[in-house]
């Protein structure tokens, strides 16, 4: 019997060896045109030679970032069938695709999970996911997500990132602020045993945020998947085993 097409982000996707093999193909070099800056030429050349970019296109994934979540989930098992997932900063939808496939949110069965994504950028519909177009930092945005969720979440993901300024300290502070907001939201909505995954920059997680996570989760670690470019300062903080909310949490998060 012929096999059907793979679901984007499902188990059994392109192997690391297959992705790595494409990296050994002839590299494409981009000349700097009059109207193209050196930085944009470098970005384009990197995209054209990135094996994960090509693999994402082959598998119908919205972005190479999908492989980061797939790698982390393969190792730490966050996205189980039936899980309820919130994806903060979801555009262009790569993480929503992976989450929907793995929690089976598009299935009409008792095993079906739930995926809620939010981003101020427009995101094309993702089968099995509810996408809200608004800035998560705006007043009332968190309430909209909670309303769509209709209960507790099992996983809160955050790939949110602020536009870079080129100033390392400023960029670090901006992305850490987003991570802190995401962590506070996770503490508000996660069910006991839930997980939180968020992007940070090299230099690790600020002490205040680490303290918050260690208070509320059984394990906290930093993860850098192979799909994250080696020359990038990007990494992820992963907190698992949510301990549940306490009566004092409302005062701590106020």
Active-site amino acid positions: 199
Determine the Cα–Cα distance for residues 66 and 242; give it in Å rounded to an integer. Answer: 24
Distance of CA 221 to the CA centre of its chain: 16
Cross-strand bridge partners of residue 130: 116
Beta strands in the chain (DSSP E): 84-88, 114-119, 129-133, 153-158, 190-201, 217-223, 234-242
Residue 167, classified by CB atoms within 10 Å of its CB into exposed (0-12), middle (13-18) or buried (19+), is: exposed
Q: Is residue 131 within 8 Å of residue 123, measured between CB atoms?
A: yes
| Cis-peptide, bond into residue 92, ω within 30° of zero | yes
Contacts 24+ apart (CB under 8 A), 243-251: 243/192, 243/215, 243/216, 243/217, 243/218, 244/192, 245/187, 245/188, 249/187, 249/188
Distance of CA 6 to the CA centre of its chain: 21
Cα–Cα–Cα angle for 218, 222, 228, rounded to 5 degrees? 140
Determine the Cα–Cα distance for residues 109 and 218; give it in Å rounded to an integer. Answer: 31
Cα–Cα–Cα angle for 107, 96, 92, rounded to 5 degrees? 140
């Amino acid at each position: 019997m012929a096999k059907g097409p793979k679901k984007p982000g499902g188990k059994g996707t392109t192997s690391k060896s297959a992705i790595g093999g494409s990296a050994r193909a002839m590299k494409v070099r981009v000349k700097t045109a009059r109207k193209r800056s050196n930085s944009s030429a470098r970005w384009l050349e990197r995209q054209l030679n990135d094996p994960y970019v090509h693999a994402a296109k082959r598998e119908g994934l919205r972005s190479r970032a999908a492989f980061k979540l797939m790698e982390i989930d393969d190792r730490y098992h966050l996205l189980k069938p039936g899980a309820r997932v919130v994806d903060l900063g979801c555009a262009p939808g790569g993480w929503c695709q992976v989450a929907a496939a793995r929690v089976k949110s598009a299935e009409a069965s008792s095993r079906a999970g739930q995926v809620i994504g939010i981003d101020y950028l427009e995101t094309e519909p993702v089968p099995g996911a509810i996408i809200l177009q608004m800035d998560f930092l705006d007043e009332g945005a968190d309430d909209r997500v909670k309303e769509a969720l209709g209960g507790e979440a099992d996983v809160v993901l955050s790939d949110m990132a602020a536009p870079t300024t080129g100033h390392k300290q400023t960029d670090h502070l901006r992305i850490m602020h987003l991570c802190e907001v995401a962590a506070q939201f996770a503490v508000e909505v996660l069910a006991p045993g839930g997980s939180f995954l968020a992007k940070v920059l090299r230099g690790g997680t600020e002490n205040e945020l680490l303290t918050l996570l260690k208070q509320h989760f059984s394990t906290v670690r930093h993860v850098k998947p192979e799909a994250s470019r080696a020359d990038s300062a990007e990494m992820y903080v992963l907190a698992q085993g949510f301990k549940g909310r306490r009566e004092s949490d409302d005062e701590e998060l106020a």
